[in-house]
């Protein structure tokens, strides 16, 4: 009994840990959250939850991966280290005791099939995608092929690569899905989270809360984040003013102003130590006394029971192997695997038990041994409350499959479901006889729309026993022994 109680207490503590509040900050450059969102970030760091910073561009200002000014460290790495130091400083300053932990080690992680850099310290997590600096106007820099987030969104470039060559995003949707996957991965068991990013309002010049004339990367980093969570209504969105805030009145308390100055100074110190020019200048310090933000969308409903990373299938001889992975599960109950011959009408062909609660990658697989020439697959993901969500659809074709006919339900009760390996062409004749050859019922069909054929025996009195189902299709005959319940 004591062991059982201890196990329950451990599970409750784990659930509470994974369900702690989580806030996400998505920005273009490594120092954006310190300059424009510091007061809210400090408030989040003071709470009991986790704060996740996601920086999209390397902010290398056209220098690509180069080091200069006699520095041994590339400029973008110096900026990156400064952002990590600011997160560490913010966390350390809010602890009740002096924290002497070392600078966090860099990790390489794979999210949505992309290699990303990640740092973890205390309750802070920092991701870097290292995409090219798009320049103020979004035209990019020559050293990185004039690529930018703006051009990726406009589809004037088909792909965009991290400046360190670590990964390439094959379009805007690939990038937005990656951001959404990070959020799904890091939310733990939290059913609602907040996204902090820049305002997308750049047209109303009389509105205080707009970003008219802001840096292109500020806008498109926010656009990527907001596109990624558009359908995730459990993600609330808080928008911030960027460079234009320097023209607005100071609105921070003295304490929050000092916090902002301290965080930005720590980030900037990394540049100075590495022999680069300071960014603690008049232009940037004019941004420190104010944070302007507004709530664009409050979180509604709960996160999906499952954050699905991928769902795919492949032929194995005449069978189909389905594989899927999840990055997080919350009260998940099961995966029901459904198949259709026409992409409209689906039937359950199997069930896999889900993890329940998980904050790590889980891999699943299912082998369909009764696949036909054309197969549509989807997952019905159910939670412990009985709610369900449907996955994307996977289509697997097997054009080399030889024609065959099988019966799905054997023994049968009334109707007999016949599955052809391929959609049969022409006329089809079906008859049911007893073991003496006596005809019980017949049916004729022509040009069925799918590989499933339903032979209706309702209205016929058929006693329990053994029968023979005769099928004629495409010049071939199939005789299948059946049992009537």
Q: Which long-range contacts (CB under 8 A, 24 or more apart) does 340-347 make?
A: 340/375, 340/376, 340/377, 340/378, 341/372, 341/374, 341/375, 341/376, 341/423, 341/450, 341/451, 341/452, 342/376, 342/449, 342/450, 343/376, 343/393, 343/395, 345/450, 346/376, 346/378
Q: pLDDT tens-digit profile of 449-459? A: 777 788 888 77
Residue 166, CA distances (Å) to 53, 55, 109, 221, 267 in order: 20, 15, 11, 19, 24
Range of lowest pLDDT (241-245, 382-386, 403-407, 466-470): 382-386
414-425 CB burial, b ≥16 within 10 A, e <16: eebebbbbbbbe
Assigned CATH class of 306-397: mainly beta
DSSP state at residue 142: G
**pLDDT classification of 13: cutoffs 50, 70, 90:** very low
State residue 4's pLDDT score: 39
DSSP secondary structure string, 332-381?
EEEEEEEEESSSSSEEEEEEEE--SSBSS-EEEEEEETT--SEEEEEEEE
The confidence band for 396, taking pLDDT boundaries of 50, 70 and 90, is very high
Q: What is the pLDDT of residue 17?
A: 43
50-57 and 374-383 strand pairing: unpaired
Residue 441 in this model has a pLDDT that exceeds 60: yes
Q: Which of 16-25, 217-226, 376-385, 450-459 has the lowest mean pLDDT?
A: 16-25
The domain ranges of the chain are 19-297, 306-397, 405-484
Are 323 and 364 in contact, with CB atoms under 8 Å apart?
Answer: yes
pLDDT in tens, 325-360: 998 887 789 999 999 988 888 989 999 999 988 877
pLDDT recorded at residue 205: 59
Q: Where are the beta strands (DSSP E) in 163-275?
A: 168-169, 193-198, 235-240
Task: Give the separation between CA 148 and CA 200, rounded to whole angstroms.
Answer: 17
CA distances from 100 to 86, 104, 472 (A): 15, 12, 80
From the options 3.40.50.11400, 3.40.50.10320, 3.30.420.40, 3.30.420.60, give the CATH code of 19-297: 3.40.50.10320
Per-residue pLDDT reduced to its tens digit, 83-131: 999 999 999 988 876 777 889 999 999 998 899 999 999 999 999 999 9
Distance in angstroms (rounded) separating the CA atoms of residues 47 and 44 = 5
pLDDT at residue 1 above 80?
no
Query: CA–CA separation, 287 vs 161, rounded Å?
Result: 31
Residue of 249 and 206 predicted with greater confidence: 249
- For residue 253, the model assigns a pLDDT of 95
Identify the weakest region by mean pLDDT among 5-9, 232-236, 467-471, 479-483. Answer: 5-9
19-297 and 405-484 share one fold: no
Strongest mean pLDDT among 209-213, 315-319, 453-457, 470-474? 470-474
Asked whether 368 and 316 are in contact (CB, 8 A), the reply is: no
pLDDT digit string, tens, across residues 143-160? 999 999 999 999 999 999
Instruction: Look at residue 18 in the predicted model and tell me its pLDDT.
Output: 45
CA dist., res. 409 & res. 377, Å (int): 20
3-state secondary structure of 152: helix
Query: Would you give the DSSP letter of residue 81?
Result: H
| CA–CA distance, 230 with 177 (Å, rounded to integer) | 11
pLDDT at 194 over 90: yes
SS3 207: coil
Q: Could you tell me what percent of the chain has a pLDDT over 90? A: 64
- Name the 3-class secondary structure at 274: coil
Q: How high is the mean pLDDT of the chain?
A: 89
Task: Determine the Cα–Cα distance for residues 443 and 416; give it in Å rounded to an integer.
Answer: 11
**Band (206; pLDDT cuts 50, 70, 90):** low
pLDDT tens-digit map of 371-381: 888 899 999 99
pLDDT at 204: 65
- Of 5-9, 79-83, 199-203, 410-414, the range with the lowest mean pLDDT is 5-9
333 contacts 383 by C-beta, under 8 angstroms: yes
CATH of domain 405-484: 2.60.40.3080
3-state secondary structure of 75: helix
């Amino acid at each position: 009994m004591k062991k059982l109680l201890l196990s329950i207490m451990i599970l409750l503590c784990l659930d509470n840990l994974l369900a702690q509040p989580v806030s996400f900050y998505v920005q273009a450059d490594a120092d954006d959250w310190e300059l424009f969102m510091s007061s809210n970030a400090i408030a989040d760091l003071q709470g009991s939850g986790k704060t996740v910073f996601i920086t999209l561009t390397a902010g290398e200002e056209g220098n690509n991966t180069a080091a200069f000014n006699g520095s041994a460290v590339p400029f973008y790495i110096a900026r990156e280290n400064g952002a990590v130091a600011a997160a560490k400083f913010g966390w350390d300053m809010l602890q009740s005791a002096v924290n002497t932990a070392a600078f966090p080690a860099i990790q390489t992680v794979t999210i949505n099939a992309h290699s990303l850099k990640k740092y973890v310290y205390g309750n802070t997590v920092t991701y870097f995608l290292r995409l090219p600096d798009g320049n103020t106007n979004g035209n990019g820099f020559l050293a990185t092929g004039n690529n930018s987030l703006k051009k990726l969104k406009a589809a004037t470039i088909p792909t965009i690569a991290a400046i360190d060559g670590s990964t390439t995003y094959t379009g805007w949707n690939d990038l937005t899905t990656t951001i959404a996957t990070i959020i799904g991965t890091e939310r733990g068991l939290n059913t609602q989270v907040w996204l902090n990013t820049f305002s997308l309002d750049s047209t109303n010049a009389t509105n205080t809360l707009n970003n008219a004339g802001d840096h292109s990367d500020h806008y498109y980093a926010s656009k990527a984040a907001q596109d990624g969570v558009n359908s995730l209504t459990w993600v609330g969105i808080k928008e911030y003013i960027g460079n234009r805030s320097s023209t607005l009145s100071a609105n921070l308390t003295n304490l929050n102003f000092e916090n902002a100055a301290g965080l930005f100074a720590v980030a900037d110190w990394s540049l100075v130590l590495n022999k680069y020019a300071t960014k603690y200048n008049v232009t940037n310090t004019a941004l420190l006394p104010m944070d302007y933000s507004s709530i664009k969308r409050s979180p509604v409903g709960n996160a999906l029971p499952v954050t699905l990373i991928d769902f795919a299938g492949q032929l194995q001889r005449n069978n189909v192997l389905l594989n899927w992975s999840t990055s997080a599960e919350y009260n998940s109950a099961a995966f029901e695997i459904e198949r259709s011959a026409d992409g409209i009408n689906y039937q359950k062909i199997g069930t896999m038990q889900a993890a329940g609660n998980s904050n790590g990658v889980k891999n699943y697989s299912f082998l369909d041994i009764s696949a036909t020439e054309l197969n549509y697959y989807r997952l019905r993901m159910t939670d412990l409350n009985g709610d369900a969500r449907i996955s994307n659809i996977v289509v697997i074709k097997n054009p080399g499959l030889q024609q065959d006919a099988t019966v799905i339900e054997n023994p049968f009760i009334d109707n007999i479901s016949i599955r052809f390996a391929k959609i049969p062409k022409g006329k089809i004749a079906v008859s049911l006889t007893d073991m003496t050859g006596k005809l019980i019922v017949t049916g004729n069909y022509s040009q069925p729309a799918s590989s499933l054929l339903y032979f209706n025996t309702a209205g016929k009195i058929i006693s329990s026993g053994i029968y023979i189902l005769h099928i004629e299709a495409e010049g071939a005959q199939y005789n299948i022994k059946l049992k009537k319940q």
